[in-house]
Structure 1
């Protein structure tokens, strides 16, 4: 009679019971190798394995063996003569140790030639934009790994409340939705300064289009909202209207790379947008001071400081435990006026990175509160965490998993 040792083993693992260490053919966990650990911990469908029976085993014997193992047969891969099997007790909450033990037992079964988990794979996404080599931030914040999980959704709109956007820029034109110009009071929110265009490119430039650089949320769309004139100045009324316009017109993320005096009107506009479901990313300013700035310091804003290539606060960035995160804000390459590109620095460029990450998270149907908590919870605790910022430097891959 065939032994039912593996089904007993699986149930024992799930119940936390000790399994015999002297059973013939068993591999003890204390003897595990790095290769065994990697095999057990790699992403795979829980409880599923691909096994190849030894050639001498006929169909009836294979079926009997699977029954005695306590395994469900899911599929026969004819071309490779493989069986996809599943152990129902391991479908949820299986630990790497349990997976490793099951693998060891299956490998030592006399009827099985080889076995491996039903691993998970994903496209390896590296954009072909020629300026990618100048965008050092993507590697530091693990954007490439994050893009293998999600590249965002066209249903998510990131509003750039700033100097407008060059809407016909070849690296932005396919991403633009209707916005508004609160300086000239018309629908043509064309940028005549460059700042807003730069932030737009960092957050969500057209990506993998053989042009310029990449944007952190490749599939998100952009809403140009002009609240500053070509000299880079604007009024409270314009900024407040820009924020509420974005919220009323479907923006899931609102980028505020701006700052000034504390204001009830400004705070009310921030609260209005938050209550509409928008996530607001706010630059903390370049004063090299721990003094709170506005709107960044309002509870419904997400304040962002700037860090450099070596994960150190940039010399001019604002700071303090009231600041949530750091993000790349030194020598950032992105879109500029006249269809061009340039490199600038500042907490506003750091904020655009966070807006792109927020766009990716919004594409996963997270609420603004969930986005806030997720970015903080998954940030890397680089030097300065707890002093210059409370959560750390953003990590795209960790956030979108």
Structure 2
């Protein structure tokens, strides 16, 4: 996207954001014989609790070192060039410690190296709790006619009645983990969450110019480990401008479903009627890496977010991602994951992790969408066919898409509306209220519909 490119060029000589320890998440995606995918030449490892406080990352002759002899021996053996922590905040809260969030690291080595023997070597070390590939999870979207459906889903949800009872509150913050969003879309910008300490010119918006003309001064004003994160963070490239790459539209579409600016005489309405949403970019080109998704969760939880929408998945469960989801749930957030679009009775992750609501898709007649996954593990079903929402201005501003990818942010948006109605509500009570408000579905394939 031209705006992103020009901004990056201006900043290149002026501001340093994430430093040299941000991994290359644009490496090739490798597909294994069982169909699962991961980023080439990268592992995520979690160290055992006894290693807490012992890691001193350094570099010697091009090899990244932990400062732990046994691990450094393996790093030299496999030519590890980078060690990137998943937890970047200077302090660690007790729930994060409980799940070892601060003990998780990505290691990066030769892009052509098979990751499995490397993982086995690290897994055999007493210092390592587990070692897994940096899994790549595809978005659960099916493209459709951009004029089909518009916003029929709000009729089925009874949204007009709900909006008559309560509308969005700016202190209720929801988060869509996806491929970024068009920050300056006329139906998005006004509902962006603003990290006030980083808004250095104090105008309540994100100005992507170096200070004093804009907000980018390269200083981590709130000391959370992310400099200049006025509206969020790009976990792919390690900078504070989470705009989508070229024609990527998935994230902007999902973000708009949850929280497009409502009652502004422009475009479409969002489910929450004007709460606030962070801008987070975790992937591009059709999917995300678990490193980026986990990093985003560790970023947003301490920033007092309420909901997380995850419209992606794979059939493989990854322990670090499961730990991140449990950390978010126990910290008081609600999490939603898309069930998948295989049209089959199969489990998908993160939707099937503990603490995550598994969201399947329905059509206009409130029965299962033909392509939606199903099963007793589905928690809730939401409209997912012909959902009309925002897309980047570069590709037309608005479009209609199908997928459990669309159902997921819609369900998350309802949870945000519940929180706006009662800001004292807990995540467990909110989910129970969401279930209680659901209608039974006249479809035998959706036992939990």
Per the TM superposition, whether the score is higher than 0.5 is yes
Shift of 1:164: 0.9
Is 1:285 the equivalent of 2:340? yes
Shift of 1:291: 1.4
Residue matched to 2:184 = 168
Instruction: Say how many residue pairs are matched.
Output: 259
Shift of 1:322: 0.7
Residue matched to 1:361 = 418
> How far apart, in 1, do the equivalents of 2:319 and 2:447 lie?
25
> How far apart, in 2, do the equivalents of 1:267 and 1:378 lie?
28
Residue matched to 1:145 = 161
Deviations 1:338-363 (A, max 9, x none): 16100000001001111110111112
> How far apart, in 1, do the equivalents of 2:407 and 2:301 lie?
22
Residue matched to 1:327 = 382
> How far apart, in 2, do the equivalents of 1:371 and 1:249 lie?
20
Shift of 1:132: 12
- Of Structure 1 and Structure 2, which has the larger fraction of its residues in helix? 1
Aligned with 1:352 (options 395, 398, 409): 409
Residue matched to 1:35 = none
Aligned with 1:211 (options 254, 266, 280): 266
**What are the ranges of 5 or more consecutive residues in structure 1 without an aligned counterpart?**
1-130, 393-401
> How far apart, in 2, do the equivalents of 1:384 and 1:240 lie?
35
Change (3 A) 1:334 1:281: same
Is 1:253 the equivalent of 2:307? yes
> How far apart, in 1, do the equivalents of 2:288 and 2:179 lie?
9
Aligned with 1:271 (options 326, 341, 350): 326
Deviations 1:165-211 (A, max 9, x none): 11100000011122111100111111231101001111111001110
> How far apart, in 2, do the equivalents of 1:242 and 1:389 lie?
32
> How far apart, in 2, do the equivalents of 1:146 and 1:297 lie?
29
Residue matched to 2:369 = 314
Name which of structure 1's ranges 376-385 and 219-228 shifts more when overlaid on structure 2: 376-385
Question: For 1:134, what is the secondary structure of its paired residue?
Answer: coil
> How far apart, in 2, do the equivalents of 1:167 and 1:132 lie?
25
Does structure 1 retain, via aligned residues, the 8 Å contact 2:361–2:369? yes
Change (3 A) 1:132 1:150: farther
Deviations 1:231-290 (A, max 9, x none): 123221111111221212221001111112201001001011111111001101111111
Aligned with 1:244 (options 280, 298, 305): 298
Does structure 2 retain, via aligned residues, the 8 Å contact 1:132–1:214? no
Question: For 2:337, what is the secondary structure of its paired residue?
Answer: strand
Does structure 1 retain, via aligned residues, the 8 Å contact 2:148–2:386? no
Shift of 1:378: 1.3
Does structure 2 retain, via aligned residues, the 8 Å contact 1:305–1:389? no
Change (3 A) 1:278 1:132: farther
- If asked which structure has higher relative contact order (CA below 8 Å, sep 6+), I would say 2
Shift of 1:336: 0.4
> How far apart, in 2, do the equivalents of 1:190 and 1:323 lie?
32
TM-score normalised by length of structure 1? 0.63
Residue matched to 1:74 = none
Residue matched to 1:189 = 242
TM-score normalised by length of structure 2? 0.56
Is 1:374 the equivalent of 2:427? no
Does structure 2 retain, via aligned residues, the 8 Å contact 1:228–1:234? yes
> How far apart, in 2, do the equivalents of 1:201 and 1:223 lie?
12
Aligned with 1:134 (options 150, 171, 178): 150
Deviations 1:269-315 (A, max 9, x none): 10111111110011011111111110101120001000000111111
Deviations 1:11-57 (A, max 9, x none): xxxxxxxxxxxxxxxxxxxxxxxxxxxxxxxxxxxxxxxxxxxxxxx
Residue matched to 2:443 = 384
Residue matched to 2:16 = none
> How far apart, in 2, do the equivalents of 1:371 and 1:147 lie?
17
> How far apart, in 1, do the equivalents of 2:443 and 2:321 lie?
29
Does structure 2 retain, via aligned residues, the 8 Å contact 1:132–1:212? no
> How far apart, in 2, do the equivalents of 1:369 and 1:215 lie?
24
Question: For 2:389, what is the secondary structure of its paired residue?
Answer: strand
> How far apart, in 1, do the equivalents of 2:162 and 2:330 lie?
28
> How far apart, in 2, do the equivalents of 1:262 and 1:147 lie?
37
